[in-house]
Amino acid sequence: MKSPLEQTPARAACEYVPVPAFEDNYIWVVSDGCNAVAVDPGDAAPVRACLAKRGWRLVAILLTHHHKDHVGGVADLLADAQVPVYGPAGEALGPLDPFVTRVKGGDAVHLDAPALDFTVIDVPGHTRGHIAYFQPADSTGTPHVFCGDTLFACGCGRLFEGTPAQMLASLDALAALPGNTHVHCAHEYTLSNIRFALACDPANAALHDWSREAAALRERGVPTLPTTIAHERAVNPFLRAGDTAVQAALTEALHETVPDRLAAFSLMREWKNRFR
Ligand SMILES: [Zn+2]
Confirm whether residue 110 is marked as ligand binding.
no
**CA dist., res. 144 & res. 137, Å (int):** 7
Q: Cα of 42 to ligand 1 centre, how many Å?
A: 10
Q: Are 93 and 85 in contact (CB under 8 A)?
A: no
C-alpha 6 – ligand 1 centre gap (Å): 43
Query: What does the pLDDT look like over 232-253, one tens digit per residue?
Result: 999 999 999 999 999 999 999 9
- CA 203 – ligand 1 centroid, Å: 31
Helices (H), the chain: 44-54, 68-71, 74-80, 164-175, 190-200, 205-219, 229-235, 244-254, 261-274
Residue 276 above 50 pLDDT? yes
Contact partners, residue 13, CB within 8 Å, separation at least 6: 138, 139, 140
pLDDT of residue 269 exceeding 70? yes
Range in 10-14, 33-37, 204-208, 253-257 with the lowest mean pLDDT: 10-14
Residue 78 is predicted with a pLDDT of 98
- Tell me the percentage of the chain whose pLDDT exceeds 90: 95
Q: Helix, strand, or coil here: 82?
A: coil
Active site positions, annotated: 65, 67, 69-70, 126, 149, 187
Q: What's the pLDDT at 13?
A: 85
Q: Consult the annotation and say whether 69 binds a ligand.
A: yes
* Mean pLDDT (whole number) for 2-24: 74
The Å distance, Cα 198 to ligand 1 centre, comes to 24
Structure confidence at residue 2 (pLDDT)? 46
Tell me the pLDDT tens digit for each residue of 51-61.
999 999 999 99
Is residue 67 a known part of a binding site?
Answer: yes
pLDDT tens-place string over residues 139-165: 899 999 999 999 999 999 999 999 999
Does the pTM surpass 0.85? The reply is yes
Annotated binding residue 187:
yes
Q: If pLDDT is split at 50, 70 and 90, which confidence band does 4 have?
A: very low
Q: pLDDT over 70 for what percent of the chain?
A: 96
Instruction: Report all structural domains of the chain as residue ranges with CATH numbers, in order of start.
Output: 15-274 (3.60.15.10)
User: pLDDT for 59-79, tens place per residue?
Assistant: 999 999 999 999 999 999 999
Residue 221 exposed, middle or buried by CB count within 10 Å (0-12, 13-18, 19+):
exposed
Sequence-separated (6 or more) residues with CB below 8 Å from residue 130: 64, 65, 88, 91, 122, 123, 124, 148, 149, 150, 157, 162, 170
Q: Which helix (H) or strand (E) holds 26?
A: strand 25-31
